[in-house]
Structure formats: structure tokens, C-alpha cells
Amino acid sequence: MSYQKIAVVSGASSGIGAATARSLAQAGHHVYALARRTERVEALAKEINGTPVTCDVTDDAAVAAFAATLDRVDLLVNNAGGAIGADPVATAEVADWQAMYDVNVLGTLRLTKALLPALVASGAGTIVTVSSTAGLIVYEGGGGYAAAKHAQTALVETLRLELCGEPVRVVEIDPGMVKTDEFALNRFSGDTTRAAAVYQGVEHPLTADDIATCITWTATLPHHINIDRMVVRPLAQAAQHKVHRV
Ligand code: 8X3
């Protein structure tokens, strides 16, 4: 008997998370759209006929309470995360590093731990974690973000080893330059000039929809195919420091 697959997408209030929720719904999933901002996830869930979940992935109790409401889960997309600040190590704010570790790494850990029993029980589970090209390479001013993203990658790679033999595939998506409404703005505390400079002269930075397409593809392939790691950059970005600007 076929049934509608159940997906949980964190960080679904904007950007890649919201686009992924839409894309997975389009592909036939029932989506639990999870984020801190209730109004946003409610509007999105209404649009895609999904379920809104107000939940902060840095809150142990909130994640556990959410997991307890679910009967089954086929797909978890760990998307909640982001960068805070771009200070050099010499002047870095310890609190920014802690916050980035909490949401990117421990947020992934909390949700993954909480939903893993259900994902295993589904008999064909998938975990897609959105890390970053900053999980591959470092750059000046990106120390705290790169440290968190490298750690998130370490978590994912460890998990894949530990789940070998279980019916859960473990996928990592590493986006490069993606122009979303909030990523750069959050990083620079709402400074629109600094945020705009990130994408200055780049003809086609990736969009949230581009990454959602990649996530949905990896999650809808036949279940024996595990895309370990997908690095996705815009054509104009050959490497972290090699960006074509016009
Ligand atoms: C986003 C990519 O270059 O801002 O995760 O670190 S970058």
C-alpha cells in the first residue's frame, strides 16, 4: 500500500527551508514546516497543505515535545542554521560562536536524535543536512561559521558510519553562494549595505529554490542511492575566493 511520505523541514520560515518545504510538498510529501516564527510557518503550511510547527532547534524540550507528536517520519531536512558575524578570530565574539554551534551543530543533533527511531522504523528513512561550502574550506572572517559547519559535517559523516546497515540514508548538501532574504542580513546584524556587498556584481547567485531542487532530488531518488555529499555553487563561484563579478 502506498502512503504519503512525511517530511520534517527545520528552518522553514524563510530561504532554503521554506523553498524545500514547498518543493517536497510538490513532490507529494506531507511537510511539517518547523521554525521559531509561528506566523510564517502557519502561512507556509496553509499554502502547501502541511503542518506548522513552532519550534526552536536550540531548545531541547521543544524538540523533544515536537518529536513526541509524530507517529512516523520518512525524511528529516536539517536546514535550520546560519552565520552570525564576520569578525576575525582576533576580535571574535565568543557568544556568536556559541550561538552558531548551538543552532547549526546541536540543532542538527537534537532533531536527528529525536527523530531517528521513527526514521529507522519507517524502513526507508532519509536525513538531509544542509551544511555549507564553509564545511569544506575556511575563509577570513568566517572562522566561527566554518568551525560550526565543519563540525556539522563531522556529525553527518559520523552518523552515516554509525547507521551503516540501518535503513536510513544520510545526505549532506553544501551550498556556496545562495542569495536569500535573510542569510547575509542575519550575518551582518541587519546591515543591508554589507549584506548586499556579498552578492555585488554576481550575475546569478544561487536561489533558495535551486538548493530545494537539489534536496528534493537526493530525497526522492530510489532509496538505495545515498548522495553522501553534494557541493553546489553558482557558475560564477569557482571556489570560495574565486567569484566572477561584473
Ligand atoms: C554559505 C556559504 O560562503 O557564506 O553557507 O560561507 S558562505
Residue 30 clears pLDDT 80, i.e. is over it: yes
E strand residue ranges, 73-228: 75-78, 125-130, 168-175
Determine the distance separating the centroid of ligand 1 and the alpha carbon of 233, expressed in angstroms: 10
Ligand 1 pocket (Cβ < 6 Å) reads 132-134, 142, 145, 175-177, 240
| Residue 110 falls inside a structural domain | yes
Position 1 in a domain: no
Please, which pLDDT band fits residue 15 given cuts at 50, 70 and 90? very high
What is d(CA 159, CA 175) in angstroms, rounded to the nearest whole number? 20
Q: What value does the mean pLDDT take over residues 9-21?
A: 98
Q: Does the structure show a pLDDT above 60 at 205?
A: yes
Is 112 a member of any domain?
A: yes
**CA gap 87, 93 in Å, rounded:** 8
pTM, entire model: 0.97
**Number of compact structural domains in the chain:** 1
Q: Which domain holds residue 215?
A: 6-243
Distances (CA, A) of 111 to 14, 32, 88, 184, 202: 19, 13, 31, 25, 35
pLDDT in tens, 149-201: 999 999 999 999 999 999 999 999 999 999 999 999 999 999 999 999 999 99
Q: Are 237 and 202 in contact (CB under 8 A)?
A: yes
Reported as a pLDDT band with limits 50, 70 and 90, residue 44 is very high
Atom of ligand 1 nearest to the CA of 131: 5
> Is 119 inside any structural domain?
yes
- CATH no. for residue 43? 3.40.50.720
Instruction: Please give the positions annotated as active site.
Output: 145
pLDDT at position 207: 98
Confidence band (pLDDT; 50, 70, 90) for 2?
Answer: confident
- Name the residue with cell 512516523: 72
Given a cut of 80, whether residue 234 has pLDDT beyond it is: yes
Cα–ligand 1 centroid distance for 5 (angstroms): 31
The answer to whether residue 123 scores a pLDDT higher than 70 is yes
Which atom of ligand 1 lies closest to the CA of 146?
6
- State the pLDDT at residue 226: 98
